[in-house]
Structure 1
Amino acid sequence: MRDLSKLPKAHLHLHFTGSMRVETLRELAAEHRVRVPSALVDDDPLRVPADERGWFRFQRLYDAARACVRGEADMRRLVDEAAADDAAEGSGRLEIQVDPTSYAPFVGGITPAVEIVLDAAKAASAAHGIEVAVVVAASRMRHPLDARTLARLAARYAGEGPGEVVGFGLSNDERHGDTAEFAAAFRIAHRAGLASVPHGGELLGPSHVREVVTALRPDRLGHGVRAGEDPRLLAELVADGVAFEVCPASNVGLGVYPALADVPLGSLVDAGAQVALGADDPLLFGSRLLDQYETARHVHGFSDPELADLARSSIRASRASSATKARLLAGVDEWLASPA
Structure 2
Amino acid sequence: MAREVRRLPKAHLHLHFTGSMRPSTLLELADKHGVHLPEALTSGEPPKLRATDERGWFRFQRLYDIARSCLRTPEDIQRLVREAAEEDAADGSGWLEIQVDPTSYAPRLGGLIPTMEIVLDAVDSASRETGVGMAVVIAANRMKHPLDARTLARLAVRYADRGVVGFGLSNDERRGLARDFDRAFAIARDGGLLAAPHGGELAGPSSVRDCLDDLHAGRIGHGVRAAEDPRLLRRLADKGVTCEVCPASNVALGVYDKAEDVPLRTLYEAGVPMALGADDPLLFGSRLAAQYDIARDAHAFTDAELAELARQSVRASRAPEEVRDRLLAGIAEWEAEPADAAAGGSTG
> Counterpart in 2 of 1:89?
91
> Counterpart in 1 of 2:258?
259
Question: C-alpha separation between the residues in 2 aligned to 1:103 and 1:208?
Answer: 28
> Counterpart in 1 of 2:147?
145
Question: C-alpha separation between the residues in 1 aligned to 2:26 and 2:79?
Answer: 11
1:33 aligned onto 2:30: no
Question: C-alpha separation between the residues in 2 aligned to 1:247 and 1:263?
Answer: 9
On the 8 A contact 2:51/2:60 being kept in 1, the answer is: no
The percent of aligned pairs where both chains have the same amino acid is 63
Q: How many residues align?
A: 337
Question: C-alpha separation between the residues in 1 aligned to 2:8 and 2:142?
Answer: 35
Equivalences for residues 7-86 of structure 1 within 5 A: 7-46=8-47, 47-86=49-88
Q: Unpaired segments of 5 or more residues in structure 1?
A: none
Aligned with 1:2: secondary structure? Answer: coil
Aligned with 2:275: secondary structure? Answer: strand
Question: C-alpha separation between the residues in 2 aligned to 1:158 and 1:238?
Answer: 28
On the 8 A contact 1:221/1:242 being kept in 2, the answer is: yes
Question: C-alpha separation between the residues in 2 aligned to 1:246 and 1:43?
Answer: 25
Question: C-alpha separation between the residues in 1 aligned to 2:205 and 2:296?
Answer: 27
* Residue 44 (structure 1) shift: 2.3
Equivalences for residues 1-340 of structure 1 within 5 A: 1-46=2-47, 47-159=49-161, 164-340=163-339
Aligned with 2:286: secondary structure? Answer: coil
The residue type paired with residue 134 of structure 2 is V
Q: Which runs of 4+ in 1 moved over 4 A?
A: none
Cα deviation code 1:16-55 (max 9, x no counterpart): 0000000000000000000011111223223315111110
On the 8 A contact 1:18/1:281 being kept in 2, the answer is: yes
On the 8 A contact 1:43/1:286 being kept in 2, the answer is: no
On the 8 A contact 1:45/1:253 being kept in 2, the answer is: no
* Residue 260 (structure 1) shift: 0.5
Aligned with 1:185: secondary structure? Answer: helix
Question: C-alpha separation between the residues in 2 aligned to 1:293 and 1:116?
Answer: 32
The residue type paired with residue 67 of structure 1 is S
Aligned with 1:45: secondary structure? Answer: coil
The residue type paired with residue 306 of structure 1 is E
Aligned with 1:226: secondary structure? Answer: helix
Aligned with 1:13: secondary structure? Answer: strand
Question: C-alpha separation between the residues in 1 aligned to 2:135 and 2:181?
Answer: 23
Question: C-alpha separation between the residues in 2 aligned to 1:222 and 1:49?
Answer: 16
The residue type paired with residue 66 of structure 1 is R
Question: C-alpha separation between the residues in 1 aligned to 2:137 and 2:153?
Answer: 10
On the 8 A contact 2:6/2:289 being kept in 1, the answer is: yes
TM-score, scaled relative to structure 2: 0.95
TM-score, scaled relative to structure 1: 0.98
* More displaced 10-residue stretch of structure 1: 140-149 or 40-49: 40-49
On the 8 A contact 2:201/2:223 being kept in 1, the answer is: yes
Cα deviation code 1:137-176 (max 9, x no counterpart): 00001110010000001101114xxx60010000000111
Question: C-alpha separation between the residues in 2 aligned to 1:83 and 1:250?
Answer: 20
- Structure with greater contact order relative to length (CA < 8 Å, sep ≥ 6): 2
CA RMSD of aligned residues (A): 0.9
* More displaced 10-residue stretch of structure 1: 47-56 or 177-186: 47-56
The residue type paired with residue 180 of structure 2 is E
* Residue 6 (structure 1) shift: 0.8
The residue type paired with residue 41 of structure 1 is T
Cα deviation code 1:90-141 (max 9, x no counterpart): 0000000000001101111011111111111111111001101000000001
> Counterpart in 1 of 2:344?
none
Question: C-alpha separation between the residues in 2 aligned to 1:64 and 1:212?
Answer: 29
Cα deviation code 1:167-188 (max 9, x no counterpart): 0000000111221110101011
* More displaced 10-residue stretch of structure 1: 49-58 or 218-227: 49-58
